[in-house]
Structure 1
Amino acid sequence: MALPTFSFSTTAEEVADIFASKIRGKNVLITGTSLNGIGYETARVIAKYANLVIITGYNLERLKLSQEALKKDVPGAKIRSLILDLSSLAAVRKAAAEVNAYSEPLHILIHNAAHGGGDFKLTADGLEIQMATAQFGPFLFTKLLAPKLIAAGSTSFSPRVVFVSSEGHRMGPGVDLDNLAHPKPEMYSNLGAYSQAKSANILFASELARRSRGKIHTYSLHPGSINTNMVQKEHNRADMVNFGVLNPDGTLNSKFPFKTMSQGAATTVVAAFDTRLEDQSGSFLWDCVVANEKIASHSADKETAKKLWDISEEIVDEKFTF
């Protein structure tokens, strides 16, 4: 059967239904699954067919709300919750140990979580919180889960790791490699930190694809502009207005090409399951199709990706080998 051509308007439900046979039997872990977010919608449509969907969050009460809603939306789905604070390396190690103790294999890891932005803030590890949540936490988490992912592979299946990035990576000059270990508040801006974090997603995905040599297939993506919790946060309003997403009164700018929540989650589901991506590991997706030409030059640079990898190994104090 010929597969359809996906586009801006494709929904996550449509993608999941098309690749239902590929989702069946799979165990999928998705970070950042709060209600009214694309991570939740991703979990919801995958849960229709998957063997197990593991949802994560750092707030137990919000995680419970997501789990209850998923079980209501998808009766019979097997949902497991995992406390995961990606801004804390100690918390990441604890969560990874819990996943590695699961009896089930792990087939797909989706890095959807992001920090909500705001003023300059250091984590307990002395890292800028947006970059910690987008890069160093996911780097360590992926490193610790890589053996479990690789073990789930077979001659007919390659495990996948998906990174939800953004076109926002193009709003800045890329990752400031010199100040990652010792971030300076005087050099901080909310939008700048967001742009760097999303650039790091793309660089990590491409370098993981190169280093894993086919053992893990990786993809990064721009989900589109969606009216999620992050857009609605008060401390992000000025930036959202400057970027043209919101009007000065906080309402959505009708001239901006907004997607529905389901359309916004569609590219993630494509990255996780579309069989046409098998020989395109490391690619960047936009509107559900490969669009490497849309990566800013600073985020497509192989030497930058290698340097970010090396710095990340130093910061998390772990060597990532295959």
Structure 2
Amino acid sequence: MSSPQFSFTTTAEEVATAFANEIRGKNVLITGTSLNGIGFEAARVIAKHANLVIITGYNAERLKLSEDALKQDVPSANIRCLILDLSSLVAVRKAAAEVNAYSEPIHVLIHNAAAAIGPFKLTVDKLETQLATAHFGPFLFTKLVSSKLLAAGTSSYVPRVVFVSSAAHTFGTGVNFETIGKPSAEKYQSMDAYFQSKSANILTAIELSKRSKGRINAYSLHPGIIYTNINQKPESIADMQAIGVLRPDGTPNTDDHQWKTIPQGAATTVAAAFDPKLNAVSGAYLDDSTAANDKISPHSSDPANAKKLWEATEEILGERFVF
């Protein structure tokens, strides 16, 4: 059978249909699954074929709305809810303990959640909120549930971890190792923190793939520019307007940017999770549902930076992630 051809306009539904055999029987955990987001759409199309889809959120009421919507759209779906606040290391540990108590292994872990871009804010652990939610929390959660991922591995299947990054990482200068563990309001720039968090996603996928020595395949990706709930948050609008993504009236700037719909924006996530061709390129970065390592900025593809970030993260968290 020939490989499917994907493009900018490919939808998550189309990708899931193409890889229905790969999704069948799998248990998938997706973070950040609020309505009107690409995590929800990825969960929706995966749930049509998977054995189990675990959706997460820090707000129980919003998570219930997502669960109800998924079950209404896909009556056959096996959905499980997990309360997970990635901005709190204690909350991450609690959620990981719950996952480790499941009877099932986890075949695919998709890190889709992100904090809103906005003013300087520290978490309960004194970490910058965007980096905590997009990097530190996911790193720790992956470490703590790694045994569940490894349990899904067989002679013919390698479990996957997917990080939803962004092409916006190219606008930054990479991870600032001086401030990553010592955030300061004086040095903080909201968009730079966003760019750093997306660079961290790419570097973590590269290093996770390397350190797992073939036992876990990791990927990062650019979903596209999509009008979702995260760039509609009041604290994010000014920054989105400043870089020209949103117009002065708060609507999408379609003159200067090519936008994807939510179904199109979730497509690359599904491809990263299930395309069997990607087994040969673990650590890859995807764009338009296809491996696109040539689109990574040098600061975010440098193996030395990947190693440095991994070790710095372990030091800040106070524990090592080993296999």
* TM-score for both structures, normalised by structure 1: 0.99
The one-letter amino acid paired with 2:271 is V
Residues paired across the two proteins, number:
322
Tell me whether 1:126 sits opposite 2:129 in the alignment: no
The one-letter amino acid paired with 1:296 is S
**Structure 1 CA distance, aligned partners of 2:140 and 2:57?**
16
After superposition, the C-alpha distances for 1:39-87 in whole angstroms (9 at most, x for unaligned) are: 0000000000000000000001100100000000100200000000001
Deviation at 1:175, TM superposition (A): 0.6
**Any gaps of 5 or more consecutive residues in structure 1?**
none
**Structure 1 CA distance, aligned partners of 2:252 and 2:148?**
42
RMSD over aligned Cα, in angstroms?
A: 0.8
**Structure 2 CA distance, aligned partners of 1:296 and 1:226?**
21
SS at match of 1:178: coil
SS at match of 1:187: coil
SS at match of 1:66: helix
What are the residue-to-residue correspondences of 1:42-61 with 2, within 5 Å?
42-61=42-61
SS at match of 2:56: strand
1:250 aligned partner: 250
1:209 aligned partner: 209
What are the residue-to-residue correspondences of 1:1-322 with 2, within 5 Å?
1-255=1-255, 256-322=257-323
Larger deviation, residues 260-269 vs 248-257: 248-257
**Any gaps of 5 or more consecutive residues in structure 2?**
none
Find runs of 4+ consecutive structure 1 residues off by over 4 angstroms. none
The one-letter amino acid paired with 2:93 is R
After superposition, the C-alpha distances for 1:216-264 in whole angstroms (9 at most, x for unaligned) are: 0010000000000112122222221232221111122122200010000
**Structure 1 CA distance, aligned partners of 2:279 and 2:172?**
31
Larger deviation, residues 282-291 vs 252-261: 252-261
| Aligned residues of 2:118 and 2:239 also touching (Cα < 8 A) | no
The one-letter amino acid paired with 2:185 is P
After superposition, the C-alpha distances for 1:151-185 in whole angstroms (9 at most, x for unaligned) are: 11001110000000001111111111111111111
Larger deviation, residues 114-123 vs 227-236: 227-236
**Structure 2 CA distance, aligned partners of 1:250 and 1:236?**
10
**Structure 1 CA distance, aligned partners of 2:86 and 2:288?**
27
**Structure 2 CA distance, aligned partners of 1:177 and 1:187?**
13
